[in-house]
Structure 1
Amino acid sequence: MTRPTLVRGGGDPVTVFAHGFGGGIADTRPYASGVDGTKVFYTARAHDGIPVDEFGYGPLAEDLRNVADAASATRAFGVSMGAGALTHLLEHTPQRFDRLVFFLPAVLDVPRGEAARAVLASLREAIAADDHAALTDAILAEIPESVRGTPSATAYARIRAETLLMPSLAGLIEILAEQVAVTDLSSLSRVSAPALVIACTDDAAHPEAVARQLAETLPEGRLEILGGTDAVWTRRDRLRALISEFLNEDDTL
C-alpha cells in the first residue's frame, strides 16, 4: 500500500524520514530544516487512520523500504519506532543507504527493560480506557519538568494523545512493546554507510545503552549524547545542526 508522503526541497541527495509511534510527518519535519536536497516524509502504517492486519518492525521496515525506493532515497533518518524500522531494514539489506541517522533508538536485539516497559504501560492503560486526559498526563510525565508547563509541551502532549487514541492504533503499542528490531545484531556489522546515532541521558523509553551499542556495532557509527531528556526541548538548534551537518556531508570528497 502506498504511504501518505510529503516531499520538500529538490535534487540530490534524497533523504527519507521515519517517525516514532504515535507521531507523524509533523514530528519529523523540524529535524530536516537544514538538510540539503530532497526530503521525503511519510506516515507509517496505521498512523493514517487505516487499520492494518500486520504491524511490527518487519512491516514498518517494508513501508520504509517502499517509500525510499519510490523516491530513490540514498539517505535515511529514523526516530524511535522509525529507528527500529531502519535497523530492521538494514539487517536484511545492509547496503541500502549511504548515510544514516538514528535518533533515540529504543530497542535492538534484546527486549525492552523494566523501565521502558513501565513507560509503555502507563500509556497502554490510558489508551485502553480511552481517556484523553489521562493519556495527555502520561505523555506530559515523559517530558522534563523544566519544560512540562510550556505551551509547546502541552500542545505536543494533546496532539500525540489524539493520535494514540485513533482506532487504527488500538492494540498496536502492545505488539511493538514485545518486539525486538533485529534478530541478529551482528548483521549490522555489514552496514558500511556512515551513521550518526543520537541519544539523551536518563530517557527510560530510549536507553542510552541501546544507542551506544548501535553506534559500536555499526562500522562507521558515531555516537552523540545530547545530555538529559530536556535537550530535545531546550537544545533543538544543536540537534538540528547535528543532523543537517551530518547528512549534508559529501561522501565523494
Structure 2
Amino acid sequence: MAEGRLRHRGAELVYDDIGTGPLAVYAHGGFVSQAVEDRMGLFGWEPVLAAGRRLVRYDARGHGRSTGEPVDAHYTYAGLADDLLALLDHLDTPGPADGMGSSMGCATVLHAAVRAPHRFSRLVLLIPPTAWTTRAAHARANRASAETIERAGARAWSATRDEGPPPAVVADVPAFPPTPAERVLPSVLRGLALSDLPPPATLAGLHRPALVLAWTGDPGHPLSTAQALAAALPSAQLHVSRSRADVRTWGQRIAAFLSRPPNKN
C-alpha cells in the first residue's frame, strides 16, 4: 500500500493507494478517518481488492491525516466534492472511476457525480445522511454543536454526542473521538449545516448504476433518505441491513456490484 498526498485549496489531502485494476475511490463519513473506520470494523474492503480493483481511500479535508483550515465553505458537500474531483485529476487514470462513499462521503460522491458524471462509472452509496425533509433539524443541531464547541470546548460537545444509544445494528461498534482538530470542528459542523443532497430532480438525470446500502434505526442516516435516493436515481438498487451480520456482507455486495458491466444495474 502506498501513501499519497495532494495539495488542494490550502489543504493537504492524504490518501492510501492499494491494488491494481480499474480505479475505485472511497470517501469516509464525517468526523472519522480511514484509520478510525478500520478500527471500527464497519466496512471490509478485501473483497473489493480481490475483485481486481485499485482502491484509493482518502482522509477528507480536516479529518485524520489531512489538513484543513477553519473555513465553513470548505466543508460543505459541494466543497468536499471539489476535493474529490481534484483527487481524481491528481490520480490521472484513464477512464471513469467507481465512486464510493459513506454518510458525508456518500454526499460528497453524489455532488461530484452530478457535477462531472463522466468521471464516474458506478456509485456505491453507504448510509446516506439526512436529506431534504429531514435535513433542517440536523442542520440546526450542527449549528448548535458548533456554538457549544466555541463556548465550552470539544469535550462538552462529545459528551452530548454520546448521550444517545447507537443504532442496534451497530451497537457493538466502538465509538471514537472526532478526528478534526478543535479549531476546525466548528467549521466542519457549519459546513455540513449548509449542505444537503442534490435535489431528487437533479439526481434523476444521473444515469449511472448505483448501489445504495442502508441500515435501520439510525436517525442520522434515516432509511427514508436511502429509499428516496434509490427512487430518485434512474439505475439504483437498495439493500437494507437489519443486523450486524448483514452489514458484514457489504464488502461482498460491493465487490459483486462493481464486477458487473458498468452499463447494467
Q: Where on the TM-score scale, by shorter chain, does this alignment land: which range?
A: 0.7 to 0.9
Cα distance, 1:25 vs structure 2: 1.7
Aligned to 2:216: 201
Which residues of structure 1 form unaligned runs of 5+? Answer: none
Q: 1:119 to 1:226 in 2, by over 3 A?
A: farther
Cα distance, 1:248 vs structure 2: 2.7
Q: 1:194 to 1:147 in 2, by over 3 A?
A: closer
C-alpha distance in 1, partners of 2:110/2:162?
26
Partner of 1:39, secondary structure, is strand
C-alpha distance in 1, partners of 2:81/2:36?
19
Q: Deviations over 1:88-145 (max 9, x none)?
A: 112222332111100111144556153x458757855764422537615624735246
Q: 1:140 to 1:224 in 2, by over 3 A?
A: farther
Q: 1:145 to 1:246 in 2, by over 3 A?
A: closer
Q: Does the Cα contact within 8 Å between 1:90 and 1:96 map onto a contact in 2?
A: yes
C-alpha distance in 2, partners of 1:28/1:66?
23
Identity, % of aligned positions? 26
Aligned to 1:187: 202
Q: Does 1:62 align with 2:110?
A: no
Structure-2-length-normalised TM-score = 0.77
Q: Does the Cα contact within 8 Å between 2:140 and 2:193 map onto a contact in 1?
A: no
Q: Does the Cα contact within 8 Å between 1:84 and 1:107 map onto a contact in 2?
A: no
Name segments (4+ residues, structure 1) moved above 6 Å: none
Q: Does 1:245 align with 2:245?
A: no
Structure-1-length-normalised TM-score = 0.80
Cα RMSD after superposing both structures: 2.9
C-alpha distance in 2, partners of 1:140/1:246?
37
Structure with more of its chain in strand, by fraction: 2
Which residues of structure 2 form unaligned runs of 5+? Answer: 1-7
| Structure 2 counterpart of 1:84, from 93, 107, 122 | 107
Q: Does the Cα contact within 8 Å between 1:101 and 1:195 map onto a contact in 2?
A: yes
1:148-227 paired onto structure 2 within 5 Å: 148=171, 152-153=173-174, 157=175, 159=176, 161-182=177-198, 184-227=199-242
Q: Deviations over 1:147-188 (max 9, x none)?
A: 65x5x51xxx2x3x2414532233321331232132x43222
Aligned to 1:100: 123
Q: 1:252 to 1:93 in 2, by over 3 A?
A: closer
C-alpha distance in 1, partners of 2:67/2:135?
27
Q: Does the Cα contact within 8 Å between 1:28 and 1:41 map onto a contact in 2?
A: no
